[in-house]
């Protein structure tokens, strides 16, 4: 077993020099560390050094790490003398003792796919590059759904001669998706900044700017496990967006990156970097803003506004209008409006109202902005709120109340906002639709005018009437609201109150939970859980499912009804 307290020495047990050193950083993660290390021991390129760098864990991690090192002489266990509170110090201490000419980084809650080392090392052998990078698989721990992080950036295999040739790559700021030449890092004294969070963003920006060339491969080289609903204690740094200190850390790192771009002669890519901040970093907070109170939003604006004022106007101009609206409302301290505008970002949700100035310009909200910046950002004239084709017309559907009805039904009071005055005055027929299986339940109801541009109605949604597959259904659905006008159809999100007590009902062989979506737009959310026979049949039918068997089960289910 190789165990290194913080001596700074190199392993000297007579083993041949490894081709690649992979550092696994860990803190109080005894349960998942073996999985991460197992993914390294399964690598198709076996001549690697594995350094477990422990940020002074206080759980069973040391015992687990020592046991792993005892099983495999490629593993070295390194324990920091005190906790550093971040990822930088354990990575840097491992770099100090790394014996290989190439290095990679792995977090203890993630994995490397089996061919990661082989694929990235092959890219280094093909060309004289400073680092190679590949695709990142994102795996949601709650659903198991797998997606690719920033897929458009890694879809094509290519070698890039410096970040100036492709500055959009700043969006891919993970240090863990890359294999670096160690002499490249050493030559530039490139290490992770200690004592701050979001160290990956600064480290990666520096690596991009300092590298003469780097290769991108489309093969997956990192498996990143995402726990979107982790408890506060277990949440990763990026999932602690509810803390204003988190906002402050993120902005601080951006300022460090900006200074480095200037000092290293890369000021020309500042617009791309600013756009990345607005489109990615700010956007991560924007989806949470409906759930923040005025005090939090005031603190958020105090941190954000001075930095937002330094960003390139051209970067703002590249954003979708809805995102520019949210940013401007934050800067204007219009916090009630911030919460309204941030709901349904990217989903075509309208404001409750618009206002027109003397020149015919249409603005978000109930008043004409009094600053030039405000008028530029909140101008919706080009969105054609009042003249879009009906299927794409902008409406806003909000649930005012959710009440338990008889049996397995819920009673909804719904208000529809029509800021473009697209709907004729008078009662309108609308429908609520939801499809827990392959067939849709559609419930019509009447919307009555409250005042110009505002309609309200009440509908009973009988969940027992929803057509379900014979084998049952397990999953979540979000009902939509449908409007029709002259045989044209418009569908939109159904926004729920941000908080209301969850309702649970049973129908047939299912338990159904009615609740607000606890993130993003905050839609009405229905979750079906099979009970009894369907719960036993579902795993079997899932394995046997084909288009032909699905059609057969639908026919049987229809006959049984």
The reported pLDDT for the residue numbered 559 is 45
The reported pLDDT for the residue numbered 4 is 53
Domain membership of residue 561 (yes or no) is no
| Residue carrying structure tokens 């005012």 | 400
Do 11 and 150 have their domain in common? yes
Beta strand 75-79 pairing with 2-4: parallel
The reported pLDDT for the residue numbered 235 is 43
Q: How many CA atoms lie within 13 A of 505 on its CB side?
A: 18
The reported pLDDT for the residue numbered 541 is 44
Domain membership of residue 234 (yes or no) is no
Task: Please count the residues of the chain.
Answer: 561
Do 378 and 410 have their domain in common? no
Q: Look at residue 296 and give its three-state secondary structure.
A: helix
Domain membership of residue 539 (yes or no) is no
CATH of the domain at 124: 3.90.550.10
Question: In sequence order, what are the residues at sequence separation of 6 or more whose Cβ sits closer than 8 angstroms to the Cβ of residue 278?
Answer: 311, 315, 316, 319, 323, 327
The reported pLDDT for the residue numbered 238 is 52
Do 447 and 467 have their domain in common? yes
The reported pLDDT for the residue numbered 9 is 33
The residue range of the domain holding 115 is: 2-228
Do 51 and 170 have their domain in common? yes
Domain termination site, one of 383, 402, 424: 383
Question: In sequence order, what are the residues at sequence separation of 6 or more whose Cβ sits closer than 8 angstroms to the Cβ of residue 4?
Answer: 11, 76, 77, 78, 79, 97
From 1-15, 58-72, 497-511, the region with the lowest mean pLDDT: 1-15
Do 491 and 513 have their domain in common? yes
Spatial contact of 452 and 354, defined as CB atoms under 8 Å apart: no
Prediction pTM value: 0.87
- pLDDT tens profile 322-345: 999 999 999 999 999 999 999 989
Dihedral in degrees, nearest 10, Cα atoms 5, 64, 37, 124: 0
Which whole number is the average pLDDT over 296-321? 97
Which whole number is the average pLDDT over 242-257? 95
CATH of the domain at 438: 2.60.40
Instruction: Flag whether pLDDT at 229 surpasses 60.
Output: no
- Give the tokens for residue 516: 């607000």
Q: Look at residue 482 and give its three-state secondary structure.
A: strand
Domain membership of residue 74 (yes or no) is yes
Question: In sequence order, what are the residues at sequence separation of 6 or more whose Cβ sits closer than 8 angstroms to the Cβ of residue 473?
Answer: 436, 437, 510, 528, 530, 534
The closest alpha carbon to 402, from 535, 525, 318, belongs to 525
Do 360 and 217 have their domain in common? no
Domain membership of residue 131 (yes or no) is yes
| Residue carrying structure tokens 């082989």 | 118
Domain membership of residue 235 (yes or no) is no
More confident residue, 89 or 9: 89
Do 467 and 320 have their domain in common? no
Give the total number of structural domains in the chain: 3
- Give the tokens for residue 327: 């940013």
Cα–Cα distance measured from residue 226 to residue 228, given in angstroms and rounded to the nearest whole number = 6
Q: How far apart are the first and last CA of the chain?
A: 65
- pLDDT tens profile 507-548: 988 999 999 998 778 999 999 999 976 444 444 444 444 445
Do 335 and 450 have their domain in common? no
More confident residue, 14 or 277: 277
More confident residue, 260 or 236: 260
Do 213 and 342 have their domain in common? no
Do 211 and 337 have their domain in common? no
Note the helical H segments in 42-86. Answer: 61-71
Domain membership of residue 542 (yes or no) is no
Mean pLDDT, all residues of the chain = 91
DSSP letter string, 286-318: HTTGGG--HHHHHHHHHHHHHHHTTS-HHHHHT
Do 132 and 155 have their domain in common? yes
Do 365 and 399 have their domain in common? no
């Amino acid at each position: 077993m190789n165990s290194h307290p913080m001596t700074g020495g190199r392993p000297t047990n007579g083993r041949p020099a490894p081709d690649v050193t992979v550092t696994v950083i860990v803190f109080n993660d005894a349960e998942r560390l073996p999985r991460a290390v197992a993914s390294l021991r399964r690598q198709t390129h076996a001549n690697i050094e594995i350094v477990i760098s422990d940020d002074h864990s206080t759980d069973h991690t040391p015992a687990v790490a020592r046991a792993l090192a005892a099983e495999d002489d490629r593993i070295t266990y390194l324990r920091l003398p005190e906790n550093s509170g971040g990822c930088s110090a354990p990575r840097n201490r491992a770099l100090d003792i790394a014996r290989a000419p190439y290095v990679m980084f792995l977090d203890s809650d993630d994995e490397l796919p089996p061919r990661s080392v082989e694929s990235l090392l092959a890219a280094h052998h093909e060309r004289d590059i400073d680092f190679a990078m590949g695709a990142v698989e994102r795996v949601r721990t709650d659903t198991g759904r797998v997606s690719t992080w920033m897929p458009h950036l890694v879809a094509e295999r290519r070698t890039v001669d410096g970040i100036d040739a492709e500055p959009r790559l700043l969006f891919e700021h993970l240090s863990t998706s890359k294999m670096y030449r160690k002499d490249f890092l050493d030559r530039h004294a490139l290490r992770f900044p200690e004592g701050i969070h979001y160290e990956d963003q600064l480290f990666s920006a520096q690596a991009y700017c300092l590298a003469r060339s780097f290769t991108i491969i489309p093969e997956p080289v990192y498996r990143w496990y995402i726990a979107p609903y982790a408890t506060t204690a277990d949440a990763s740094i990026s999932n602690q967006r509810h803390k204003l200190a988190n906002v402050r850390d993120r902005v601080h790192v951006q300022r460090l990156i900006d200074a480095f771009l200037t000092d290293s002669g890369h000021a020309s890519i500042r617009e791309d970097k600013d756009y990345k901040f607005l489109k990615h970093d700010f956007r991560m907070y924007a989806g949470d803003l409906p759930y923040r109170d005025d005090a939090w939003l005031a603190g958020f604006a105090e941190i954000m506004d001075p930095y937002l004022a330094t960003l390139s106007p051209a970067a703002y101009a590249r954003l979708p209008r809805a995102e520019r609206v949210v940013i401007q409302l934050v800067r204007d301290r219009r916090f009630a409006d911030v919460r309204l505008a941030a709901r349904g970002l990217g989903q075509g949700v309208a404001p409750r109202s618009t206002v027109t100035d003397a020149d015919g310009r249409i603005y978000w909200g109930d008043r004409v902005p009094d600053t030039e910046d405000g008028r530029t950002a909140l101008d919706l004239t080009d969105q054609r709120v009042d003249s879009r084709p009906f299927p794409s017309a902008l409406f806003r559907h909000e649930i005012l109340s959710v009440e338990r009805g008889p049996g397995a039904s819920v009673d909804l009071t719904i208000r529809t906002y029509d800021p473009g005055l697209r709907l004729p005055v008078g009662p309108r027929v609308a429908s609520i639709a939801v499809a827990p299986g392959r067939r849709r339940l559609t419930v019509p109801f009447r919307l009555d005018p409250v005042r110009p541009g505002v309609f309200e109605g009440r509908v009973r949604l009988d969940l027992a009437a929803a057509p379900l597959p014979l084998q049952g259904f397990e999953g979540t659905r979000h009902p939509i609201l449908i409007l029709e006008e002259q045989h044209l159809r418009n569908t939109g999100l159904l926004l729920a109150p941000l908080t209301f007590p969850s309702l649970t009902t049973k129908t047939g062989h299912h338990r159904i939970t009615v609740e607000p979506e606890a993130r993003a737009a905050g839609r009405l959310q229905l979750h079906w859980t099979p009970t009894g026979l369907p719960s036993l049949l579902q795993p079997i039918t899932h394995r046997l499912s084909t288009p032909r068997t699905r059609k057969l089960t639908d026919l049987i289910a229809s006959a049984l009804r």
